Amino acid sequence: MGRAVTSEQTKFKPGDRVRVRTDDRPGHIRTPYYIRGKIGWVERVYGEFLNPETLAYGRDGMPRRTLYLVAFNQADVWEKTAAAKDKVLVDIYEHWLDPAA
């Protein structure tokens, strides 16, 4: 699963609450708009992958980026009620995540 990483190498571990960055810049980006600024938690650490945001321009994708499976409550993502347990889970690279209280 990607290149294996230890918990010392990653910024977040499963259970950590994270906020998705609201950066907006042109070009190839893998973090959808609807999830930017939202708060969720790390479900799983997938390991390190070549950075697709630079690979897309013919570069080498280095340095590798840690990829996380991040879970969000549906009700926190959309301003409407949803069934209480429903979730959206998004694969997000570490440089798009900040710690959340």
Partner 1 sequence: MSKSHERDETPQDHGHDHPKHELSFYAKRIYAIRDLLLEKGVITEKDIQCQIEYQEARSPANGAKLVARAWVDPAFKTRLIGDPKAACAEIGIDATSINEFVVLENSEKVRHMVVCTLCSCYPRPILGRPPDWYKSFNYRQRAVNDPRGVMREFGLELPDDVEVRVHDSTADIRYLVLPVRPKGTERLSETELAKLVTRDSMIGVMDALPAVPTS
Q: List interacting residues with partner 1 (CB under 8 A).
A: 1-2, 30-32, 34-35, 46, 49, 52, 67, 69, 71, 74, 77-78, 83-93
* Dihedral (CA of 100, 36, 94, 40) sign: positive
* Pick 16 or 64: Cβ nearer partner 1: 64
Question: Reduced to 3 states, what is the DSSP secondary structure of residue 11?
Answer: coil
Angle at alpha carbon of residue 32, lines to 48 and 57, rounded to 5°: 60
Least separation in angstroms between CB 41 and partner 1: 13
* Pick 19 or 52: Cβ nearer partner 1: 52
* Pick 16 or 74: Cβ nearer partner 1: 74
Least separation in angstroms between CB 83 and partner 1: 5
Least separation in angstroms between CB 29 and partner 1: 8
d(CA 10, CA 16): 12
* Pick 16 or 43: Cβ nearer partner 1: 43
Omega within 30 of 0 (cis) for the link into 63: yes
Alpha-helical (H) ranges within the chain are: 52-55, 74-77
